[in-house]
Amino acid sequence: MSRVKGERVSIGIDLGTRSALCSFVDGAGAVVPVTNRWGTLSTPSVVGWDGEWRVGEDAVRLALRGSEAVWWDVKRRVGTPFQAVVKGRRRSAEELLVPLIAALREDAEVRLGTFVSSCVLAVPACFSLTQREAMVRAARAAGLHEARVVAEPTAAALSFGGEGRFLVLDFGAGTVDLSVVESGDGVWQVLESVGSDGIGGYDFDLALADWLRERLLLEPLPPSDPRWRTLVMEAERVKIALSECLSFEWIPPPLGERPLPALTVQREDMERLMRFPIRRLVHIVRRLWERHDPARLLLAGGSSRIPLLREILEQEVAAPERFGLCGEDAVVCGAALYAHSGGERLLLDALSGDLTAVWEGVPTRVIPSDSTLPVRAVVPLRAVRSGRARLELIQSPNELREGGVRLASLELGVRSGEELRLTCEISASGCLEAELRRDTGERVEIPLFPKGNGSPRDVAAESARRMQELKLALAAVETALSEQQQDRLHALMRRIEGMPFDAETMALMEGLVKDLENAVS
């Protein structure tokens, strides 16, 4: 046992697109990886349902048996309108992550011999403010009530431990992030950070799997087909092998009734599929390098092993260095060190993309990109006419992320000439809180979109649907209540109707329904 029983411990989690890792710092200050319930260090980031939640290896087996109630690539869906149907109920990507994070927590508790309720969760630097907030909510729902987030390339820089200015390229399975970090005297400051969840090693796996399928003369396979899942896993194996050799003799697994011939796959075959996105990525790396003049270029993440990436970087930017430890472990080690450090390491992250308020159609920059976190800003607003006015909060795109992210939308009645104040505060972990103050002193909270990238119409429709479900559930029990209790219940329903529900509010409302059902049963 590496910790004293009863001692408070905080764990570091790298919740990757393809796999998740967990670590902690022992009494001697060393980072210790957590072995999962299957006896390995890496837990597949896969979630399934077969009457109960299945995660990791169990979810992979469920998928290979042909179940369609299995979800891969969940982290990239956080902040999108994606929803899975489980037991007739729609679940967001945030909700699907809860059982996976809970499993990581439980494995850490077994290893440590004590309860764990605190963590630092590494997230992509490209994640928007609402996506970061969603990850924090998922961690808290999984029992990690003291949850903070750190950008993945920043965590990798922490594990590096050196002083100076360096550019970190974290190229994982589902995202790519670039951060310019300067460190010295125990302070790590992010000068600029950009990223995208539109490119990753998993995309190369899919492209290579499709290329292998064509070479085998197989018909296109739907994503839910177990044969396609098998082919994608094989493609990843071929990609890893070709990162170490120029050709690979691949023996296909059974994918149908007819036997399949062995294929010799050349590295150049694979590189043709990935050359264009890698070229685009290197172009952004070069621009950051020229803008900040760092001393070192550090690579982290499994996809940073791709020889073509290292070759083009060395030709056009600088000779890249890998971390002293395995590149795939750099992020989780940094997260564990940050979780353990207390006041020893001061981490100053930066905002990726401007935070802009659009008031009555006119944009105003509230907080500029690359502002050091935490940060708070107050912006005066003025109503030009009486009636309904709309306020929207938008996080602008960066050099890798195309399109801005709509964070919130609020419509309210105003009078001509009314003065309002918009206050936006972003925490050190990148979580946003926003409010309006009228000239009367009245405070108006601005609810963030639960889905992050959803539109006001999507959020309103989802809230209306969930409200209707609550009304139907309450209709069955309200007749057993007294008249006074019914009046209070109806007043509550009228007050919350039309509000966008986040996961926590919805859980409270559903708990109320269950309590009422139990009380009258």
pLDDT, tens digit, 9 for 90 and up, residues 330-366: 899 999 999 987 545 678 888 988 999 999 989 999 9
Do both 22 and 73 map to the same domain?
Answer: yes
- Asked if residue 212 is part of any domain, the answer here is no
Tell me, yes or no, whether 165 and 148 share the same domain: yes
Residue at a domain's end among 348, 363, 378: 348
> 364 in helix, strand or coil?
strand
Specify the 3-state DSSP secondary structure of 77: helix
Asked which of 422, 445, 468 is the last residue of a domain, the reply is 445
For the residues 421-440, what does the mean pLDDT come to? 91
Question: How many domains would you assign to the chain?
Answer: 3
Query: Of 249 and 403, which is predicted with more confidence?
Result: 249
Neighbours of 313 (CB within 10 A): 22
Tell me, what's the pLDDT at 455? 40
For residues 270 and 501, which has the higher predicted lDDT (pLDDT)? 270
Bridge partners of residue 2, in order along the sequence: none
What mean pLDDT comes out for the span 155-161?
86
Cis amide linkage into residue 500, ω under 30° from 0: no
Q: What pTM does this model have? A: 0.78
Q: What is the pLDDT of residue 499?
A: 47
> Would you call 126 exposed, middle or buried from its count of C-beta atoms within 10 A (0-12, 13-18, 19+)?
buried
| 369: containing domain | 355-445
CB 75 within 8 A of CB 97: yes
pLDDT averaged over the chain?
85
206 is a domain residue: no
**Across 255-264, 331-340, 457-466, 487-496, least confident range:** 457-466
Mean pLDDT (whole number) for 234-245: 93
Question: What CA–CA distance (Å, rounded) separates 294 from 292?
Answer: 6
Residue 344: what are its φ and ψ, rounded to 5°? -70, -35
Mark whether 38 and 74 lie in a shared domain: yes
Question: Can you give the three-state secondary structure of 2-64, one letter per residue?
Answer: CCCCCCCCEEEEEECCCEEEEEEECCCCCEEECCCCCCCCCEECCEEECCCEEEHHHHHHHHH
When pLDDT is cut at 50, 70 and 90, the band that residue 483 belongs to is confident
Please indicate, yes or no, if residue 88 is contained in any of the structural domains: yes
Q: What is the pLDDT of residue 449?
A: 75
Is residue 486 a part of any domain in this protein?
yes
Regarding whether 124 and 32 lie in a shared domain, the answer is: yes
Are 380 and 460 within one domain? no
For residue 404, the domain's CATH number is 2.60.34.10
467 and 426 in one domain?
Answer: no
Q: What is residue 500's predicted lDDT score, i.e. its pLDDT?
A: 45
Which residue from 264, 260, 258 is spatially nearest to 231, judged by alpha carbons?
Answer: 260
Both 462 and 378 in a single domain?
no
* Same domain (yes/no): 434, 465: no
| φ, ψ at 214 (rounded to 5°) | -65, -40
430 versus 103: the higher-pLDDT residue is 103
Please tell me whether residues 96 and 134 are part of one structural domain: yes
Q: Is residue 76 part of a domain?
A: yes
244 domain residue, yes or no: no
Exposure of 498 by Cβ count < 10 A (0-12 exposed, 13-18 middle, 19+ buried)?
Answer: exposed
Whether 200 has a pLDDT exceeding 70, the answer reads: yes
What is the structure's pLDDT at 457?
Answer: 37
| Residue 366 sits in the same domain as residue 329 | no
pLDDT class of 231 with cuts at 50, 70, 90: very high
Q: Are residues 370 and 505 in the same domain?
A: no
pLDDT band for position 179 (50/70/90)? very high
Residue 241 lies in a domain: no
Is the pLDDT at 212 greater than 90? The verdict is: yes
**What is the pLDDT at residue 453?**
41
DSSP calls for 505-520: HHHHHHHHHHHHHHHH
| Residues with Cβ within 8 Å of residue 446, at least 6 apart in sequence | 391, 393, 408, 410, 434, 435, 436
Query: Could you say which of 348, 368, 396 is where a domain stops?
Result: 348
User: Which tokens is 496 given?
Assistant: 């919350």
Better-predicted residue by pLDDT, 327 or 368? 368
- Tell me what pLDDT residue 454 has: 43
CATH of the domain at 280: 3.30.420.40
259: closest CA among 297, 201, 303, 218?
218
The residue-averaged pLDDT of 420-449 equals 89
490 pLDDT band (50/70/90 cuts)? Answer: low
Percent of the chain with pLDDT over 70: 83
Q: Do 304 and 192 reside in the same domain of the chain? A: yes
Q: If pLDDT is split at 50, 70 and 90, which confidence band does 510 have?
A: low
pLDDT at 1: 46
CA 279 to chain CA mean position, Å: 25
Let me know if residue 226 belongs to a domain: no
Nearest in space to 337 (alpha carbons), one of 10, 79, 93, 20:
10
